[in-house]
Structure 1
């Protein structure tokens, strides 16, 4: 696999460096970039990682004139994609976003207002997704269908209604769009490439941040994006991220999310260390049993 990069100079200092991996998904990428230009209050740097680019993605990105990009000759997944793109970042803050999203007006204003309130640099902050279906994710505004593809997106109706949906700030972060200090991303080594092509790389990243000392994981209810959910992961052979996570960390991602990040609950502030009660001790013991079962060698005699 071959990697290349092209960095474009900007006549301003960007507030965010926005990283976007894209795998032959030009229609969605074009929609996202157009929304960033239309609906952002501040000036940002856009950095795209072009996975293959067989659909003309690279040519389109080049033609924009103000987008830096990295490229892999084959699909390198989201871990390599975000990591490669992050090396071209110019801003103090990185934003991670999927190419199948449309950002709402002032999405960046609400994130930056939250950042301005931070007393240190150990935090992870997310915007809130609006989706046309309900998959049980408490962090998402659900069942608001404005189209599954940019060609059918009812932008006018969406823009007139999106701000009316009630949503409190929520606990846990980890969903895109997500922003954190650039140096923190580099300090923890970015996304872990052993999770290629990317399943469970986000939970792994969250626990790496936890071990680094991050305790402020907040989702901002007013910073919103529409998520088309293009399901590009259906095109790849998925890694067994659930097993990889538990073997690496000695506990399940479910235990981490529920007992450490308390994901999806109304925002609780800075997270404390989890209480080592009977329930948590039992969950950890069950997780340890799972680790032993998954790591037990297979007898092929």
Structure 2
């Protein structure tokens, strides 16, 4: 089953989730409505709702219940993107103006907060206390991750474990929770919930590492932002961490750039090529593949249903995606 076939097979339910998202962003203040709509219309893969929908199929699948998980998780993701853009001073996301660029930082921050609040409100309609606790704990961890990312911005002296902890909170956690809560809301047994939770974690780690690789190998058209944006914003990702250990001259140049807080002149295309020359892309790809292999192993023992094959295909897509 190809990724396009997965979306086609889930098309009707994804369409309903999309409509629920549109209804959920209605607000009493016109600016909040416009800003939220701007973000929603920017699109996205809706990968978190897809994980919810697929995981729920390992239990008693009822969309009217599942939507109380799928919609909040996408709203939390969207809210975190708005906050990220403020922190990173980003002008573009997916090739379109960010909310902070279209309005300002204050509107962006309150829009992100509004998304979070609406997510909790919708999740509470599930009536499942455990679900609410897991979701709340995830939001706490994500907030800690945001603060840690600010703390480590423009810091060239980072260790691999700091990077891995950061991407866990930034990306893997919400994907893991999407899988876990999809199974939980559908009444799947605890073993299935835990397998899907771990599958989501490993797949989420690979997803973010792949994103970080693409920042160096993708084009501006593919990425919707300039290549090397992470470095320009002071975020040291896996390829750069590896390359700095291999090339002392490159390390000195990056340290010098980081000390200027991104205001110094830098030949970013040249830096990107030097990072590639160290073998950093291959190293990062191998690490992403190891996480994917672990995720695939978690699927073993689960019922051999269409959703399982779809989850396997998503993991394979993450391993080969180009943008």
- Give me the TM-score of the superposition, normalised by structure 2: 0.27
Q: What TM-score, normalized by structure 1, do the two folds share?
A: 0.29
Tell me which protein shows more helix as a share of its residues: 2
